[in-house]
Amino acid sequence: VELEKLASRKLRLSAKTTMTIAEKLYTQGLISYPRTETNIFPKEMNLTSLVEAQTGDNQWGAFAGRILGEWNGPHPRAGKKSDQAHPPIHPIKHTSGLQGDEAKVYEFIVRHFLACVSQDAVGKETTVNIDIAGEKFVGHGLTVLQRNYLEVYVYDRWSDKEIIDYEQIREFEPTSIDIVDGSTEAPKLLTEADLIALMDKHGIGTDATHAEHIETVKSREYVFIEDRDK
């Protein structure tokens, strides 16, 4: 479920396309078993060798090297799910010979794995209380101090609203003050990732059948795709 949802949001790929590609990569020996929700790496699993296999890549190889050197080896985050049969989805060996969507899915799995066994990003959130001619305003923003896993996991942004360091600022001259009209908007359409999450929540289908269920209702025109993001 998580791979399908993340690929839908981050790569704009349908659940069916994602799982078809993942299964092909699995049969080629490039990734581990993809139909699992396990997110706990077994303690006896040799993660170092998996990271070492990626050090030669020209896109994320340097980051893999930092995990082994600067950060003293992989330190996976502690998950909560285990099916007692399969480890979390991860790359088995390195390849640079894939094309198109297959390359995108493989790259996503590798980057996700490296991010999971690296260091947390470090930042601080700032709240600014502003007084302009007696009118009170509040601003919020984030300052990223150490990017760490964000360097390899290019699909994540901590915040769309970064803010400067106001610790030493007591007064400033605003560049502009605008009054903007707005109105209540209708709810956004469901994305495929939203639909998968709702199916999982309400027990509709299984990890193995979510993609097929969605393709069925699309083919019968019970639902329509408005654009590639829906």
Cβ(15)–Cβ(199) below 8 Å: no
d(CA 62, CA 80): 30
How far is residue 225's CA from residue 218's CA, in Å, rounded to a whole number?
A: 8
Q: Which two tokens stand for residue 71?
A: 């950060």
Q: Which of 26, 33, 155, 166 is catalytic?
A: 33
Using left for φ > 0, alpha for ψ between -120 and 50, and beta otherwise, residue 72 falls in left
Tell me whether residue 52 is exposed, middle or buried, using C-beta atoms within 10 angstroms of its C-beta: 0 to 12, 13 to 18, 19 or more.
middle
- Cβ atoms 151, 63 nearer than 8 A: yes
| Cβ partners under 8 Å of residue 161, min gap 6 | 140, 141, 142
Residue 18 DSSP SS3:
helix
33 counts as catalytic = yes
**Cβ neighbours, 10 Å, residue 162:** 13
Catalytic site positions? 33
